[in-house]
Amino acid sequence: MSTIHKVAAVQFEPTMFEKEQNIARLLELCEQAATAGARLIVTPEMGTTGYCWFDRAEVGPFVEKVPGPTTNRFAALARKHDCHIVIGMPEVDEDGIYFNTAVLIGPDGVVGRHRKTHPYISEPKWAAAGDLHNQVFETPIGRVALLICMDIHFVETARLMALGGADVICHISNWLAERTPAPYWISRAFENGCYVVESNRWGLERTVQFSGGSCVIAPDGQVSAVLDKGDGVLLSEIDLDAARARRVLGETVFAQRRPELYPELLTDTFSWNPHDFFGLYEHEPWPPGKTSRVSVAQFAPVDDVVQNLRQIEAQARAAKAEGAELVVFPELAVTGLADPAKSAQSIPGPATDRLRSIAGEFGVYLVCGLAERDGDVLHNSACLVAPDGKISIYRKTHLAADERSWATAGAGWSVVDTPIGRIGMLIGHDASFPEAGRVLALRGCDLIVCPAAIKGRFSSSHAGTEVIQPGSIPTGADPHHWHHFRVRAGENNVFLAFANVIDPERGYPGLSGVFGPDTFEFPRREAIVANGTGLATALVDTGNLDSVYPTNVVRRKDLVSMRMPHSYRGLVKAAASNY
């Protein structure tokens, strides 16, 4: 049985109030794709009717049940060509409730459907949040899952579908406000090791400019084909074996998950005013926050602790000259990458004593990675050293394959309150797991610091788009359009200081950066070390206006507050059936 199948993403511009015209055009484009050999054809969100409805009364004449007349027409085409088709439409159920729905249709009719669970600003005007969560459908061309537009902003949705065995996520959307293929789309494929077939509409509807950029994204994050602007059919191939390997940067991430550390994913800490929630019963209130400068230092540690400490001192001095109050250094920056077991240090010990001296001399916080010796046990650790000498330790919880020969995984998270804000700590491979950043966000972190030694490709460029975007949204070429760790910051509404090793000969690409809490803010609040040894310094604002409610996105956490945690239970199960 073949594991390679041709797929198609359909892109077009629907017209509101012209349902029959839209359906006819979609059938024409699907026929074109099927004739070209596509076994799976994906069409845009609300493609049968258009998207920008004012209210229930306006969309009411265009809703349908599923199955119904529209799905029957696409089923006839699927039967004719022995293929599967995903359509987007407004659905009405037996109780008269409306949903924004994606329907998977095969030769025998409706296979399944997904109702948009995480609504964008417009859906609550007419639709209920979806109640059919995280389904994966078995088909002759693989295991297929469905997501709709805003759903993919939330790490939990695609993760649950991948845990359920999805080979391909069909993401139908009316995406806007940035160049596409969107970084969120790429990260969901990349972090889950599965395909994303993206069908996005284009064109202008009721003042809203949609971005186009329909594409097919491979499990390694490579965009294999893309259609920038205009109506059309985009063809590509998927290989089920590539998806079922479930590898991220060469690591078997699904086998390395730590569900026992994830129960907080089922909580909703931002459903209440977080100023009241954090500090309830006068316990662990948020630090007031402030405006600060944060630096990441990029270099290649050597197999010499003394020399590494000299490099740390030199870069801390340079960062202080740029006004930095916190400097983050790479993973194992103190002890080196070559033989951590041999160079491991006790905490406290001579190495951390030197870090204390540097932090005190320059009046800065330092975050440094090192191999830690705790009696007979070794950890891949990071320490946050305060100017007053206090040390906070985090031990890496998600170990990569080559670390398991020497390191013992940590047992929990580390969150530290400072004048800069509430700081959460991750190390390198930890950040490949979307669950890790989410837990720290739910704990109210303003900033996540991440010393890293990550090899491989986690960023890609964009050649520019012909779609004319409003305001300050960029359309030109961008060498760092997708940076996976920028997405980590934005999806959790945190600042993220990512300090990676730079050593191209050994596969470490650097690309360290300080990334802002809103990926749709342009120009971006960030700084990146594009290449070589060096620093990137950015302004970090964790303060708040004089208000009892949060006015800063890092405190409001808009995306975090829109989660639907009652449907995320599968994230904390010990193991999924397919892995």
Catalytic residue numbers? Answer: 45, 116, 149
Residues 94, 110 contacting (CB under 8 angstroms): no
CA distances from 369 to 345, 392, 486, 523 (A): 11, 12, 21, 31
Terminal CA-to-CA distance of the chain, rounded, Å? Answer: 21
Q: CA 451, 452, 454 angle in degrees (round to 5)?
A: 175
Q: How many helices (H) and strands (E) does the chain have?
A: 15, 30
Six-digit token string for 149? 């537009």
Counting other chains too, the contacts that 389-395 makes at CB distance below 8 Å and 24 or more residues apart are 389/356, 389/359, 389/360, 391/347, 391/348, 391/352, 391/355, 391/356, 392/416, 392/425, 393/347, 394/425, 394/426, 394/427
Strand order in the sheet with 527-528: 415-418, 421-425, 447-452, 495-500, 513-515, 527-528
Q: Which of 18, 52, 209, 22 is nearest to 123 (CA)?
A: 52
Cβ neighbourhood burial of 522 (10 Å; 0-12, 13-18, 19+): middle
CA distances from 159 to 81, 103, 116, 407, 576 (A): 32, 20, 16, 27, 11
Alpha carbons 233 and 31: distance in angstroms, whole number: 10
Alpha carbons 140 and 153: distance in angstroms, whole number: 29
User: 461-493: string of b/e by CB count within 10 Å (b at 16+)?
Assistant: ebeebebebeeebbeeebebbbbbbbbbbbbbb
Report the SS3 class of residue 548: coil
Residues near 327 by Cβ (< 8 Å), separated by ≥ 6?
A: 294, 295, 296, 297, 315, 316, 319, 364, 365, 366, 367
Unique residue bearing structure tokens 């003042």: 207
Task: Give, to the nearest 10 degrees, the angle between helix 350-362 and helix 305-321.
Answer: 10
Alpha carbons 203 and 308: distance in angstroms, whole number: 54
Q: Which of 375, 371, 376 is nearest to 352 (CA)?
A: 371
Region at 282 (left for phi over 0; alpha for psi -120 to 50; beta for the rest): left
Residues 107, 78 contacting (CB under 8 angstroms): yes
Alpha carbons 577 and 579: distance in angstroms, whole number: 6
